[in-house]
């Protein structure tokens, strides 16, 4: 009996007899005349990012770099977070005072489940779609820590915010090539459109997403 | 054993004894099944409400994209390139996945794929799996196959959970429970889930009930099964697009992950994702971006995601679709469901009448090609050919073109038998073909028709044609043949002979 692999490949080749043998994949022209770079000034881009993250019913707050720790502590206090999950490499100065830190590595699902929230950095923000991207880089930790807790507090620096999806994809090429760096695009809190095709927030992922945008620019 | 044809819409919606694709015997025709759906006024209300909501939202998020048409064209071209060189890209994908620690399995058909999954689950000593919503695993009947092996599959997507609890078939590729209203879902949850006595029909409360029900499963079940939205040949990266977080749960918490991927889901390069990440969310749930999109490349470091990762590359009829030069574009489909939401036929009948896990316009061209027109011959006619589906398709699949092409195949299939050749429809069409081929016969037929129609014309129109053609006039009036045709007028017109003009004199300076 022919192994399925050979069966499938033989069927595909038999199906493609109309494709000239000399044709190479790159001979099939792909016109990439869509937008690749956003030419908006930085301030407008950042404002768009904030507006679009908010449209997903995520909370957004703006802080200056020297005010970041206060902003984090304030968010945790507002939310009533007592036990906060953090990645092992949480940047210095981010840990809010008066909150019990549950620090990676090695946390069990149960510990994540019993926490009140998680604090992470991110790889990128995308203004066009109001997305934050995690790629297992610095300050982000493994995937489960930003998933199981019910509250995700995510810090984005203005220099990390790109305009368009293609700009983000280009920057993520190295992560995509690496098994060690799974990528997650997060656009608002977990949601579903499964009941009458209306979006409602809050299913299995964190039901509250809060983003702190760090910038010296005067945006709100 | 095949069940009898359904006689009510509730029977039509039921899962019992129905294969996911109409492979084993010709299914009830779409037109007959549609009559059952159309008789269900609750269903029509639910469908109308849902499709209208999503259509309005889709237009808004598409219109804010100045480069939408360029993205559609790129989306089409990337799929075209991939399909024309599919063997090369699959081999590249196989090598890339192996390089990053994943294992590729090939499945020629549904049985192959189901057996591979069952064996992998049994090798773990597991009795349960958690599942991310996956049309491909619906198509191969994976849950039923696993049940026969004593393995329980828990659907974790909200809509999939709803129809699994209701024991109903899917009616939409993205939102399988689109035919259910919130009140119906509340009743279902109160009947089937624990601690739901106080449950209201607020969608938020319904989602919370599903969250509570599934939480423990995510944290304890050792094997997850998913489909695949995109597999990148260059890097071996696999992509899952979702909303609820059930996908992320399944992808990261269990020890073993098995992803079933149709062979057409491969894309050449990572960069190609920049196109589909823009096209898919706006076309499917009408969002700028869906809540969660996950990419992983093989096995992540210990503690982050599964220790074992398997991809099953599934053919199951796809190579047959690839053979058809017109029909092959159906394989470019990224399963967004925009064509379902816009379709005036689907909006009214809902998905069950299509008798396939792939309903709507895309189903009408995909199902007959996957299982053969002899098993789904009514589906290419489940359309008014209005073309709205083509207009909204993010990868520019010319659905009307394929529908017409498949109608031709249905007719030629019928003509293969003597019975088909002698059928009134075939005889009538053959005769008409001869009439239209000759101006003389055409004129003679018009004269005959003018005599024959005299008794039927009332108030300038024919309201009812008797006999075989009666079906055509049951929903529309026909204009009678004119008292004088253009050709007759042309022959009989008064010929004024104009006096010959002298040649104009050229003027010289």
In the DSSP assignment, the letter for residue B480 is P
Which residues on adjacent β-strands are paired with residue A213?
Answer: A62, A156
Query: Is the Cβ pair A194, B175 closer than 8 Å?
Result: yes
What ipTM does this complex have? 0.97
Contact A169, B273 (CB under 8 A): yes
Average pLDDT value for residue range B470-493: 86
Own/partner pairs, B46-52, CB within 8 angstroms, 24+ separation: B46/A196, B46/B178, B46/B179, B46/B180, B46/B181, B47/B178, B47/B179, B47/B346, B47/B347, B47/B348, B47/B350, B48/B347, B48/B348, B49/A196, B50/A196, B50/A197, B50/B175, B50/B178, B51/A197, B51/B340, B51/B341, B51/B342, B51/B346, B51/B347
At residue B2 the predicted structure's pLDDT band, cuts being 50, 70 and 90, is very low
- pLDDT tens digits, B263-299: 999 999 999 999 999 999 999 999 999 999 999 999 9
pLDDT more than 90, % of chain B: 77
Q: Least CA distance to A107: which residue of chain B? A: B303
A150: chain B residues, CB-CB within 8 Å = none
For residue A50, being part of any structural domain is answered with: yes
Domain of A100, CATH number, reads: 3.40.50.10420
At residue B25 the predicted structure's pLDDT band, cuts being 50, 70 and 90, is low
B218: chain A residues, CB-CB within 8 Å = 204
For residue A12, being part of any structural domain is answered with: no
Which of A152-156, B31-35, B215-219 ranks highest by mean pLDDT?
A152-156
Looking up tokens 């792909």 gives A30
Contact B230, B239 (CB under 8 A): yes
For residue A116, being part of any structural domain is answered with: yes
Alpha-carbon Rg for chain A, nearest whole angstrom, is 22
Nearest to A212, CA basis, from A80, A96, A44, A40: A96
Nearest CB to B211 within list A165, A176, A204: A204
Q: Least CA distance to A187: which residue of chain B? A: B291
Total number of domains constituting chain A: 1
**Averaged in consecutive runs of 10 residues, what is the pLDDT profile of chain A (220 residues)?**
94 98 97 96 97 97 96 97 97 95 95 97 98 98 97 98 98 98 97 84 92 94
For residue A26, being part of any structural domain is answered with: no
For residue A161, being part of any structural domain is answered with: yes
pLDDT more than 70, % of chain B: 97
Query: Is the Cβ pair B315, A11 closer than 8 Å?
Result: yes
pLDDT of residue B3: 54
- pLDDT tens digits, B413-436: 999 999 999 998 899 889 999 999
CATH code for residues B30-319: 3.40.50.10420
A177: chain B residues, CB-CB within 8 Å = 235, 270, 297
Question: Within chain B, which residue ranges are assigned CATH 3.40.50.10420?
Answer: 30-319
> Where in the sequence is the domain holding A136, given as residue range(s)?
37-214
> What is the value of pTM for the model shown?
0.92
Q: How far is B181 from chain A (nearest CA, A)?
A: 6
Average pLDDT value for residue range B493-501: 76
Nearest to B157, CA basis, from B219, B20, B250: B250
For residue A203, being part of any structural domain is answered with: yes
Query: Is the Cβ pair A105, B297 closer than 8 Å?
Result: no
């Amino acid at each position: 009996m022919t192994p399925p692999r050979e069966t499938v490949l033989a069927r595909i080749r038999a199906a493609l007899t109309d494709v000239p043998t000399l044709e190479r994949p790159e001979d099939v022209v792909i016109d990439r005349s869509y937008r690749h770079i956003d030419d908006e000034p930085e301030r407008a881009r950042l404002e768009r990012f904030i507006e679009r993250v908010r449209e997903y019913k995520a909370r957004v707050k703006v802080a200056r770099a020297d005010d970041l720790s206060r902003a984090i502590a304030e968010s945790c206090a507002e939310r009533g977070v007592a036990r906060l999950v953090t990645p092992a490499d949480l940047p210095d100065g981010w840990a809010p005072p008066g909150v019990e830190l549950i620090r990676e590595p090695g946390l069990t699902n149960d510990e994540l489940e019993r926490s009140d929230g998680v604090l992470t950095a991110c790889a990128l923000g995308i203004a066009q779609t109001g997305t934050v991207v995690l790629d297992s880089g610095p300050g982000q930790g493994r995937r489960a820590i930003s998933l199981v807790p019910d509250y995700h507090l995510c810090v984005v620096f203005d220099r990390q915010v790109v305009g368009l999806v293609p700009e983000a994809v280009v920057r993520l090429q190295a992560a995509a090539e690496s098994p060690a760096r799974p990528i997650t695009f997060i656009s608002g809190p977990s949601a579903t459109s499964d009941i009458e095709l209306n979006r409602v927030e809050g299913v299995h992922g964190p039901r509250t997403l809060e983003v702190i945008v760090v910038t010296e620019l005067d945006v709100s | 054993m095949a069940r009898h044809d359904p006689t009510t819409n509730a029977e039509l919606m039921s899962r019992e004894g129905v294969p996911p694709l109409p492979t084993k015997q010709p299914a009830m025709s779409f037109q007959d099944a549609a009559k059952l759906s159309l008789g269900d006024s609750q269903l029509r209300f639910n469908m109308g409400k849902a499709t209208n909501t999503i259509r309005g939202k889709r237009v808004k998020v598409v219109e804010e994209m100045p480069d939408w048409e360029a993205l559609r064209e790129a989306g089409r071209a990337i799929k075209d390139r991939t399909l024309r060189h599919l063997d090369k890209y699959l081999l590249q994908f196989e090598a890339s996945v192996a390089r990053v620690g994943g294992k590729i399995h090939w499945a020629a058909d549904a049985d192959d794929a189901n057996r591979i999954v069952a064996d992998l689950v049994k090798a773990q000593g597991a009795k349960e799996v958690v599942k991310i919503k996956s049309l491909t695993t619906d198509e191969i009947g994976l849950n039923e196959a696993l049940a026969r092996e004593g393995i329980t599959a828990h659907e974790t997507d909200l809509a999939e959970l709803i129809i699994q609890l209701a024991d109903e078939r899917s009616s939409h590729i993205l939102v399988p429970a689109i035919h259910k209203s919130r009140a119906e879902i509340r009743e279902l949850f109160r009947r089937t889930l624990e601690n739901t006595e106080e449950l209201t029909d607020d969608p938020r409360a319904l989602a919370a009930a599903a969250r509570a029900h599934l939480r423990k499963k995510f944290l304890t079940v050792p094997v997850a099964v998913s489909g695949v939205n995109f597999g990148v040949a260059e890097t071996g990266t696999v992509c899952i697009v979702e909303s609820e977080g059930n996908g992320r749960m399944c992808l990261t918490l269990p020890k073993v992950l098995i992803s079933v991927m149709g062979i057409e889901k491969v894309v050449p390069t990572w960069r190609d994702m920049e196109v589909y990440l823009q096209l898919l969310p706006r076309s499917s749930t009408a969002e700028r971006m869906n809540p969660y999109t996950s990419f992983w490349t093989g096995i992540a470091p210990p503690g982050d995601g599964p220790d074992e990762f398997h991809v099953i590359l599934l053919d199951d009829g796809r190579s047959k679709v690839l053979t058809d030069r017109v029909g092959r574009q159906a394989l470019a489909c990224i399963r967004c469901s925009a064509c379902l939401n816009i379709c005036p036929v689907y909006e009214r009948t809902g998905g069950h009448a299509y008798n396939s896990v792939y309903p709507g316009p895309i189903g009408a061209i995909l199902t007959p090609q996957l299982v053969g027109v002899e098993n789904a011959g009514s589906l290419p006619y489940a359309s008014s050919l209005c073309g709205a589906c083509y207009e909204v398709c993010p990868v520019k699949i010319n659905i009307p073109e394929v529908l017409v092409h498949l109608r031709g195949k249905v007719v030629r299939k019928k003509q293969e038998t003597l019975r088909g050749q002698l059928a009134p429809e075939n005889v009538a069409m053959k005769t008409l073909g001869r009439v239209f081929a000759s101006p003389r016969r055409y004129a003679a037929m018009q004269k005959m028709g003018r005599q024959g129609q005299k008794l039927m014309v009332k108030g300038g129109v024919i309201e009812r044609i008797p006999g075989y053609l009666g079906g055509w006039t049951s929903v529309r009036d026909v204009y009678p043949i004119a008292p004088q045709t253009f050709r007759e007028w042309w022959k009989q017109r008064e010929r004024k002979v104009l006096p010959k003009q002298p040649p104009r004199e050229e003027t010289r300076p």
